[in-house]
A and B are shown apart, each in its own frame.
Chain A
Amino acid sequence: MVTLRVNGEERQADVPPDMPLLWVLRDVIGLTGTKFGCGIAQCGACTVHIDGQPIRSCQMPVSAVGDRAVTTIEAIGQTPEGAKVQQAWLAVDVVQCGYCQSGQIMSAAALLARTPNPTDRDIDTAMAGNICRCGTYVRIREAIKQAATGQPQGLQVIVDGSAA
């Protein structure tokens, strides 16, 4: 039996110690916002935070987590950076298929937590581990800058309710 601290709650799981955190989250605890993309830490879709640090949960044995705090996309909006990133993602309307976006947002929130005003190079470095096959990278850059500065970047989508 493994005890985990996930999104502020204690969760127990009867799983093998070498089982990757990804599958414990998805198939045992039932938090499916964290995604499986490659299984070899190449795509970043499975990114979660452990004590605020972004890690690839497909490569993290659940036994290595210990009592550190696990944060997933479902709760990242409760952190100041996570909330800012999600708001900017909506303002710039980053998502396409959306499958990689949990991982993108987790990486972006971690970047802003350690580097509140990232340069283009900081953004490229922090986000290079997250693949998006839809190619939302241009808007990801804009959204991270918007989250950091509070200033509108790129095309701003209209709030839906004002039309019609």
Chain B
Amino acid sequence: MNARIRGGHGVDEGRRGALKLAGGGLAVAFLWTAGLGPAFAQMNPRRQPTDEAAAVADGNPPFAPNAFIRIDADGSVRLVMPSAEMGQAIYTGISMMLAEELGVGLDQIKVEHSIPSDALYGIALLGGGQITGGSTSTRGQWQSLREAGAVAREMLIAAAAAQWQVEAASCSVSRATITHVPSGRTLGFGAVAEAAGKLPQPATVTLKDPKNFTVIGKPLRRVDSPDKVNGGTQFGIDVKVPGMKYAAVRTSPELAGTLGSVGDTKARAIPGVVDVIKLDNAVAVVGEHYWAAQRGLDALEIEWRHGVNEHLDTATLVAALQESSRNGPALVGRKPKGEAAAGGKAVEMTFVTPMLAHAPMEPLNATVHVTPGKCEIWTGTQVPTRVQKEAARICGIPLEAVTVNNQYLGGGFGRRLETDQVEQAVAFAKQVSYPLKVIWSREEDIRHDRVRPLYFDRISATLGDDGKPTSWKHRITSGTVLGRWLPAALGKDGMDSDAIESAADLPYEMDNVLVEWVYHVMPPGLVVGWWRGVGPTHNLFIVESFIDHLAQTAGKDPLAYRRSLMKPGSRPLGVLNLAAEKIGWGSQPLPARVGRGIAVASPFGSHVCAIVEVEVTAQGVVRLRRAVVAVDVGIAINPSSIQAQVQGGLLFGLSAAMFNGITLKDGMIEQSNFHDYRSLRINETPAIEVFTVNSGESPGGLGEVGTAIAAPALANAIFAATSVRLTELPVTRTSLAESAEALKHVVDIGTGKGDIA
């Protein structure tokens, strides 16, 4: 893999070492290169043949040394963003990496969405696709973007030095200005942009020593904040195209059901309704505005046709997974080393974790204009090149005939790694001549989500006399996201590396560990997708709940027990110790029915420990009191973003664990909007303190780290408060009430399905 990532250009040793760390040393499943072919496109810090068109589309600036930097004659610096901005602050992080080496301040740059291009913007860690996911953007671009900035800087300096007839080594760059240090002469970037654009590209550049960083490591304001506080940011749903009309859609509520007859007389009579258009499994009403389209949709008389899922419900699905877990062929993700000692205390648990919807705040939407031989799309997507490819397929036109204008994403969480909604919009837009903005209602969004998979887990261990596990067996049963989404990335034996991530690579020192995955084929139409935190979010709930249970079984403190299993000096132990110190673990007794729960792990190339403190009322209502999180993400690009991502990620995970589960009845998803698919609100939010360990290692992933660690910390806190060990999510109040009598004294507050006793 390292050989593949290395370009033919000069690469310093520091880079080589860092690549090894980012991509080679860890059993990180989301790095999908293993199962793919020998060569794939990936980012290059230097100009590529395919960048020509991109630069021309960008107004053909005099200096465009690579696919990321454009400098105009007036000195303006435009940075092109290879990743999608969905809240994770990657536009800011990318800008900081480029700006650090280029020599500009964040107040001196403008950011631009990129065109779709795997060749220019592919992420090697994800098989070379232009994909924003798996918390890979920073760790996957850390080297190439800084190098891209350095290439530009060296060329600008060379141009200035040539003009002054001085040595390049006697010049320095700061705030978009080149200075000849001995004479104090200065030139702005704009003054040398044209000359720099004609120079050869340097084969070798030297990157800054981290101790000389002036941008990286500072808590800088996000580059997208100013427009986001005044309503000025354009999300996909805000796009305006001349002549555009609006479509409201209904897809068969029964998964994989189809559209039968549609009575549209009433709908067409509504003022503002323009058209009624159909697909095999969906119908759309087009209006002059979205309200007319929605009213028209409600006025349709639709007859749906049953498909294979007519009788599908959640209980049937769970039972089928349990059956597969018992009998299905198991693939081995981690083999035990050596034989377990005989005897010991056997402990076993089973877990069911629910399907989850993403519910990004911006409902799914795409604006599409299909004209003869062409298709233009405006949407916010995590996978612009996949959008382009699918549109070309649906329209039967070449890839180059499809224009994709990516937008700011009003949340992604993995939902916008899918192209289903855009594909549907293209299929509808093909039927009309005008640009069509297709918006899914929140109800459509929830009922047709590509859900986080349902999982059934069986986990067991044998404890020796000292209470430590002498053997550990974990069998995971689920559908496969990776197998559908990027089948080439499955292992040779069909192993889904995502399904076992953070289950096979434990922070604990144990030899006799067996981790298996059983593939359960999900019913057609029940499509499983990436959900923030992916495999680790599920596995850490199981593993860290079980470790807590083992500590209890062994009669040990949960913190001391974990410490006893971790390698001294290891990075996960570092975050565990820091979080424990900051919350004051064990320093004072807690009130009745208040408890603290620990969870620690190393997902996405980073290390994280969360300690959550809850109170569980006599009526079983869980109140989040406080959370302390320690992270080691290696070199911190932007400490402000780290704090924000950890806080937000944790709340996203807590919200799901507290309230969320997608359930099926008669083949339909039962939830539909924020009243029955709850989201944590501000009055339910605890104080969250975030602390970082500065290990100086290359950056790890961040966007999903907080989410992945949330549920087990919550479940362990609930156990500490109530002695109830949760083996299913979401949290249900009935299981936590002190008594049936206590339960009567509280009205339902909608803490998830199954709450109403």
Contact of B87 among A27, A96, A157 (CB under 8 A): A96
B458 to chain A minimum Cβ distance, whole angstroms, is 32
Stretch at the interface among B417-425, B586-594, B643-651: B643-651
Q: Once bound together, how far apart are the Cα atoms of A23 and B479, in whole Å? A: 40
Contact A131 B674 (CB under 8 A): yes
Q: Known contacts A74-B231, A163-B105: does B652 contact A155 (CB below 8 Å)? A: no
**Residues of A contacting B: mostly:** loop
Q: Known contacts A134-B411, A136-B648: does B231 contact A97 (CB below 8 Å)? A: no
Contact A98 B682 (CB under 8 A): no
Stretch at the interface among B43-51, B193-201, B215-223, B534-542: B215-223
Contact of B229 among A31, A89, A129, A141 (CB under 8 A): A89
0/1 interface trace, chain B 160-195, chain A, CB 8 Å (1 if under): 000000000000001100000000000000000000
Contact A133 B679 (CB under 8 A): yes
Q: Known contacts A20-B291, A137-B651: does B215 contact A132 (CB below 8 Å)? A: no
Q: Once bound together, how far apart are the Cα atoms of A90 and B238, in whole Å? A: 22
B532 to chain A minimum Cβ distance, whole angstroms, is 10
Stretch at the interface among B63-71, B96-104, B124-132, B725-733: B96-104
Within 8 A of B (CB), among A144-164: 155-164
Q: Once bound together, how far apart are the Cα atoms of A148 and B640, in whole Å? A: 22
Contact A163 B214 (CB under 8 A): yes
Contact A164 B86 (CB under 8 A): no
- A139 / chain B contacts, CB cutoff of 8 Å: 644, 647
- A38 / chain B contacts, CB cutoff of 8 Å: 442, 673-674
- B289 / chain A contacts, CB cutoff of 8 Å: 15, 19, 23, 27-28
- B272 / chain A contacts, CB cutoff of 8 Å: 16
Contact of B225 among A95, A137, A161 (CB under 8 A): A95
Contact A158 B221 (CB under 8 A): yes
**Residues of B contacting A: mostly:** loop
Contact B647 A135 (CB under 8 A): yes
Contact A131 B679 (CB under 8 A): yes
Q: Once bound together, how far apart are the Cα atoms of A73 and B229, in whole Å? A: 8
A43 at the interface (CB under 8 A from B): yes
B217 to chain A minimum Cβ distance, whole angstroms, is 10
Chain B: which residue is nearest A22 at the CB level? Answer: B291
- B238 / chain A contacts, CB cutoff of 8 Å: 26, 32
B745 at the interface (CB under 8 A from A): no
- A42 / chain B contacts, CB cutoff of 8 Å: 673-675
0/1 interface trace, chain B 681-694, chain A, CB 8 Å (1 if under): 11101011000000
B656 to chain A minimum Cβ distance, whole angstroms, is 11
The total of chain B residues at the interface (CB under 8 A) is 80
Contact A98 B221 (CB under 8 A): no
B233 at the interface (CB under 8 A from A): yes
Contact A136 B230 (CB under 8 A): no
Contact B87 A36 (CB under 8 A): no
Most B CB within 10 A of own CB, among A73, A95, A162:
A95
Contact A33 B106 (CB under 8 A): no
Chain B: which residue is nearest A100 at the CB level? Answer: B361
Within 8 A of B (CB), among A74-129: 74, 77, 86, 89-90, 93-102, 105, 123-125, 127-129
Q: Once bound together, how far apart are the Cα atoms of A16 and B85, in whole Å? A: 37
A5 to chain B minimum Cβ distance, whole angstroms, is 18
Within 8 A of B (CB), among A1-55: 15-16, 19-20, 23, 26-28, 30-40, 42-43, 45
Chain A: which residue is nearest B686 at the CB level? Answer: A138
B360 at the interface (CB under 8 A from A): yes
Contact A161 B237 (CB under 8 A): no
Q: Once bound together, how far apart are the Cα atoms of A162 and B105, in whole Å? A: 7
A125 to chain B minimum Cβ distance, whole angstroms, is 7
- A86 / chain B contacts, CB cutoff of 8 Å: 229-230
- A130 / chain B contacts, CB cutoff of 8 Å: 681-682
B143 at the interface (CB under 8 A from A): no
0/1 interface trace, chain B 227-255, chain A, CB 8 Å (1 if under): 11111111101101000001000000000
Contact B230 A27 (CB under 8 A): no
A29 to chain B minimum Cβ distance, whole angstroms, is 11
Contact of A23 among B107, B214, B219, B291 (CB under 8 A): B291
Binding site for A on B (CB under 8 A): 85-89, 99-100, 103-108, 174-175, 214-215, 218-222, 224-235, 237-238, 240, 246, 271-272, 288-291, 359-363, 408-413, 439, 441-442, 639-640, 643-644, 647-652, 655, 673-675, 679-683, 685, 687-688
Instruction: Give 26 A-B contacts (CB < 8 Å), ordered by A residue.
Output: A16-B291, A19-B291, A23-B289, A26-B238, A27-B289, A31-B231, A35-B235, A35-B361, A36-B439, A43-B674, A77-B230, A86-B229, A90-B221, A93-B221, A97-B87, A97-B411, A99-B235, A99-B361, A99-B410, A124-B682, A134-B87, A135-B647, A135-B651, A137-B651, A158-B218, A160-B221
Binding site for B on A (CB under 8 A): 15-16, 19-20, 23, 26-28, 30-40, 42-43, 45, 72-74, 77, 86, 89-90, 93-102, 105, 123-125, 127-141, 155-164
- Known pairs A34-B231, A137-B680 / 14 extra A-B pairs, C-beta < 8 Å: A40-B673, A89-B225, A93-B640, A95-B229, A97-B362, A98-B87, A98-B228, A98-B410, A133-B411, A135-B649, A137-B651, A138-B687, A157-B640, A163-B218
